[in-house]
Amino acid sequence: MATLFFYELKKIVNRKILWICMLCGALLLAFSVAGPLVGDYVVNGERLGSNYEEFQKDAAYQKRLDGRAIDEILFMEMQKAYEKVPLNEKKYSLTEEYQTYARPYSAIFNYVRQTTGLSATGVTNLEASTEALKEMRLELRELRWEEYYLSEVEKEYWRAAEEEIENPVVFRYAEGYSALLSLAYTVGILSIFMIAICMAGVFPEEHLRKTDQQILSSKYGRKDVYWAKLCAGTLVSFGLACVFVLITFVTAFFIYGMEGFDAAFQIIYAGSSCPISVGQAVLIIYGIILCAGTFIGVLVMTLSENLHSSVGTLSIVTGLIVLPMMISVPEEYRVAAQLWSYLPSDIVAVWSCFSPRMVVLLGNVLQGWQVVPVLYAGIGVVAAIVTERVFVKYQVSGR
């Protein structure tokens, strides 16, 4: 079995499409990470500097605030700075006042806006204490939970989780993790698409090359070779996803730095009530990307053996990937919306991965990212077992 696995792995690795996809994916991802820093920062046709210089400026401001709690002292400091800015102007960020006084606090300003749901002027007019900020945050959370049609059990879970989030939240420079979180969707979609392309031909190729005749008439040419091939394909799918994730991590950390692993997740994604750090959130979502990539690999391989067509399989899987980008299920159809968000091309987004919708199972309350790996493993195993019968009973005829 080990020898068969080795040769099946070799067959997949020998395929040019794998290397083409890996190279294209790597280039696209490296560009996606570095892209926002490339080129000029132009406002109203006037070049104000390069995007990289502007990023450096913001990074320096954020590093100055690193380690400070977002309490009433920092909040008032920020308000004072923003009071000088004519926020009613359409492009207030271009004003001298903004650039000089407010910009150093823009990270705090944005955090408060997201956590309270207030407008720009609303933030400056707010008379808030640390506790009041938390109250506003909780009120906004309750509203969002209603929109998600959460049950009382789920709401209770999240209320308890909110209590575990540090208060006041300590601001940390975590631009590397922030970039990784905002790129997760791109990395996820690209990974599953590239894996689908690479794996679609693994089984049909044997029929196309007519090697199936020799394989199926050999002693271990049925069950053993099927599982060896499937395992090899699964490993390559996982490996490919790992390569894409690794490239993204290396590029993001190289450009934006690795600081801020322990920062509260809410600094980056105020909409979440998960009491985890931003580093943990990154590990979770990229773990989900690895799961989704591996799952797509298994799904594509089994589907292609059932259809005996790589093109047909790719059409179906492309539809599965693209559909969630075009169609969203209304939240009132709670179960359908939740299942829809578990699709591989949807769960790789931060908002789906850390969605407040949960699964209550035997007294345990599980989040989406905890359910999806088990769900994918279950579907993958069933698909593999069903397809084994198709592979074993394949009839060589009509050539």
Partner 1 sequence: MELVIDRVSKQYKNKIAVDRIDLTLKKGIYGLLGANGAGKTTLMRMLCGILTPTSGTITYNGIDVSEEEYRAILGYLPQDFGYYPDFSGRDFLLYMAALKGLSKESAKKRVNELLELVSLTDVAKKKIKTYSGGMKQRLGIAQALLNNPQILILDEPTAGLDPKERVRFRNLIADIGKDNIVILSTHIVSDIDRIADRILMMNNGKLVFDGTREEISGDLEEFYLSEFGEGEVD
- Contacting residues toward partner 1, per CB under 8 A: 3-4, 7, 10-11, 14, 206, 209-222, 225, 394-399
Q: How far apart are CA 58 and CA 104, in angstroms?
A: 7
Q: How far is the CB of 203 from partner 1 (least distance, A)?
A: 14
Q: Which of 236, 210, 215, 237 is nearest to 226 (CA)?
A: 215
Q: How far apart are CA 204 and CA 22, in angstroms?
A: 21
Contact between residue 226 and residue 391 where contact means Cβ atoms under 8 Å apart:
yes
Q: How far apart are CA 334 and CA 21, in angstroms?
A: 37
Q: How far is the CB of 394 from partner 1 (least distance, A)?
A: 8
What Å distances lie between residue 212 and 4, 89, 377, CA to CA?
Answer: 15, 70, 28
What is the CB neighbour count within 10 angstroms for residue 190? 23
Of 203 and 295, the one with the shorter C-beta distance to partner 1 is 203
What count of residues does the chain have?
399
**Helices 368-392, 223-256: inter-axial angle, 10-degree rounding:** 150
Of 23 and 374, the one with the shorter C-beta distance to partner 1 is 23
Q: How far is the CB of 212 from partner 1 (least distance, A)?
A: 7
Compute the Cα dihedral for 251, 252, 253, 257 and give only its sign: positive
Of 8 and 154, the one with the shorter C-beta distance to partner 1 is 8
Q: How far is the CB of 207 from partner 1 (least distance, A)?
A: 9
Q: How far is the CB of 393 from partner 1 (least distance, A)?
A: 8
Q: How far is the CB of 206 from partner 1 (least distance, A)?
A: 8
Of 90 and 393, the one with the shorter C-beta distance to partner 1 is 393
Q: How far is the CB of 221 from partner 1 (least distance, A)?
A: 5
| Residue 103 identity (one-letter amino acid) | R
Q: How far apart are CA 361 and CA 376, in angstroms?
A: 17
Of 23 and 396, the one with the shorter C-beta distance to partner 1 is 396
| DSSP E strands, the chain | 40-43, 46-50, 358-361, 364-367
Q: How far is the CB of 4 from partner 1 (least distance, A)?
A: 5
Of 363 and 398, the one with the shorter C-beta distance to partner 1 is 398
Of 13 and 160, the one with the shorter C-beta distance to partner 1 is 13
> For 42, left (φ over 0), alpha (ψ -120 to 50), or beta?
beta
Of 10 and 80, the one with the shorter C-beta distance to partner 1 is 10
